[in-house]
Amino acid sequence: MSKTTPVLRQALEYAKRGWAVFPVWGCWPSGACRCRRGKDCQHIGKHPWTEHGFRDATTDATRIRAWEDKWETANIGIATGEASGLVVLDIDSLKGGEASMEKLIARLGPLPRTLMVRTGNGWHLYFEHPGGRFKSVAEAIAPGVDIRADGGYVVAPPSRHQSGRAYQWEPGRGVFDGTLGRLPEKWLDELGRLGCYIDGAESTVTTEDLANTEAPVDPGGRRQHGHGEGGEGEAQPARRSGQALPAYFLQMPTDEFLEWTIRHTLPTGPGRRHHQVFLFAKILKGHPEISRWDASKLIAAAVEWYKAAVDALGEGQIKAGCDENTADFLEAWDNVHTPGVGIAEQAFSVALEDELPKAAHLLVDDASKRLLAACREMQRLVGDGQPWYLSTRQVCRLMPEFEQRMSVYRTLSLFERLGFLEIVERGSPTGRKATSYRYLLPLDE
């Protein structure tokens, strides 16, 4: 009969919340690590006690109980990042973390009340993972402040620190009596600027990724370009961020679209595969028909991309195997927030100069009128009747007039109520998936 210890019971409770857990080496009362290195261990009470480290983390109760020989003396590790939907700010008081946090809050604004742990030397602040890629980086944002996210983990209560103190949830901010908060936009923007956070919805790629690509050819053999007065074969200048995508882009047949996307997302050198395969998934998912493909078609597309990447770089330049790359592609497909590349940027830049829709006379605010014009342009770009994606965060980035995402949400809800827009598929409340819409008004009015 399995033995249930206090640590095991807590590990199982974390797993019920969807947090992936695994055993970590604990500490002796003397402060030495229970691993064979003892007092000479460089990570006392903090390193994994499993073969594959945090990659063994799981929410499966059966697998967690299978480690029963460890839980009596182990600490608990929680895999951060997408594995558990967590980002944790690790504040080390001994390295000046608290002073750093005061300066960060003064510059970036206050953090919301969220789950909080008292560690041996500081604090852990738990936040909801916003999606995209969030790196685990030591002191990237300030001295004494580490980020524990994708590819990382934290030690959780009731684990023991080498100082002899236990990790403890703060009263009212614990796993059973607190609420998991979200990192504010200014903090996410700063982390993005520092290279720690890559937003799968907007920041992962821009039209600059395609800035030197050849425009696709329509069935009649003409080069396709964005709106403007440029002559045939003459590229149109970008109005805002990067190169304007051709209006024909999302109306290409699937085989032509797939071939074009593969050609323009191949890695340019070693170390670029992971980023480029995410870009490949993001663009493909923006095609109305491909977005509905089943797993077999998606796997075939990933295999075709991998073979082209190997041919482009040469044998031995891509370390991952084809199946591993397919796994990365399918994961990227699930993690894409806002499918497509550059469509919103082009639509909003055209909306700055285009005539307003006739229905805009029902609106009062200039920002609302321009947003409606952008929605019309989105529909023009993807094709009449086809759905398109838009997130509130995108709108705030492209239209500074909207300072709050809730304002965008309410405006788009008004458009739906007035019959301007139809919601095809509602996005997730956590913001990990954008909402898809159709513009219902005539495109020529």
Our count of domains for the chain comes to 3
The pLDDT-based confidence of 202 (bands split at 50, 70, 90) is very low
Are 120 and 167 in contact by the 8 Å Cβ rule? The answer is yes
Q: Is the pLDDT of residue 408 over 50?
A: yes
Residue 302 has pLDDT above 80, yes or no: yes
Residue 149 inside a domain? The answer is: yes
Instruction: Judge if 125 and 21 occupy the same domain.
Output: yes
194 and 323 assigned to the same domain: no
Q: Are 186 and 290 contained in the same domain?
A: no
Q: Do 217 and 278 fall into the same domain?
A: yes
In this prediction, residue 223 carries a pLDDT of 30
Q: What is the pLDDT of residue 158?
A: 93
Where is the domain boundary, 300, 335, 370? 335
User: Average pLDDT of 116-140?
Assistant: 88
190 and 42 share a domain?
yes
Q: How confident is the model at residue 177 (pLDDT cuts 50, 70, 90)?
A: confident
102 located within any domain: yes
Most trustworthy range by pLDDT among 53-62, 151-160, 189-198, 236-245: 151-160
Question: By mean pLDDT, which of 37-46, 345-354, 385-394 is the weakest?
Answer: 345-354
Query: Is residue 163 domain-shared with residue 65, that is, in the same domain?
Result: yes
Same domain, yes or no: 258 and 313: yes
The answer on 306 and 324 residing in a single domain is: yes
Banded model confidence at residue 197, pLDDT cuts 50, 70, 90: confident
| Token digits of residue 348 | 């909003």
Task: For residue 355, tell me if it sits in a domain.
Answer: yes
Poorest-pLDDT segment among 79-93, 222-236, 350-364, 393-407: 222-236
Q: Is the pLDDT of residue 189 over 90?
A: no
User: Are residues 161 and 226 located together in one domain of the fold?
Assistant: no
439, 427, 438, 437: which is closest to 201 by C-alpha? 427
The mean pLDDT value for 128-144 works out to 85
CA distances in angstroms from 58 to 6, 80, 409, listed in the order given: 18, 12, 36
Angular region, 416: left φ>0, alpha ψ -120 to 50, beta rest: alpha
For residues 310 and 350, membership in a common domain is answered with no
Residue 239 confidence (pLDDT): 29
**pLDDT for 7-50, tens place per residue?**
999 999 999 888 989 999 999 988 899 888 888 888 888 888 98
- Which residues 6+ apart lie within 8 Å of 275 measured at CB? 204, 267
Give DSSP secondary structure letters for 139-166. Answer: EEEETTEEEE-BT-EEEETT-B-TTSPB
In a domain, 406, yes or no: yes
Alpha-carbon gap, residue 345 to 351, rounded angstroms? 10
In a domain, 51, yes or no: yes
pTM of structure: 0.50
- Domain of residue 372 covers 343-439
How far is Cα 161 from Cα 235, in angstroms, rounded to an integer? Answer: 62
Q: What is the pLDDT of residue 274?
A: 78
Q: Which of 283, 301, 335 is the last residue of a domain?
A: 335
**Residue 1 belongs to a domain:** no
Predicted local distance difference test score (pLDDT) of residue 216 = 32
pLDDT value at residue 206:
41
Domain shared by 318 and 382, yes or no: no
Q: Both ends of the chain: CA-CA distance in Å?
A: 73
pLDDT at 414 over 70: yes
Boundary residue ending a domain (157, 181, 198):
198
Q: Does the residue 275 lie in any domain? A: yes
Q: Are residue 277 and residue 134 in the same domain, yes or no?
A: no
pLDDT tens digits, 215-256? 333 333 333 333 222 222 222 222 233 333 444 555 677 888
Q: Indicate whether 61 belongs to any domain.
A: yes
Residue 213: the pLDDT is 35
- Copy the structure tokens of residue 410: 């309410």
Mean pLDDT, residues 325-334: 88
The whole-angstrom separation of Cα 351 and Cα 338 is 20
Bigger pLDDT: 240 vs 201: 201
pLDDT of residue 433: 66
Q: What is the CATH number of the domain that holds 415?
A: 1.10.10
Q: For residue 251, with 0-12 CB atoms within 10 Å meaning exposed, 13-18 middle and 19 or more buried, which class applies?
A: middle
- Please give the pLDDT value at position 195: 74
Q: Would you place residue 370 in the very low, low, confident or very high pLDDT band (cuts 50, 70, 90)?
A: very high
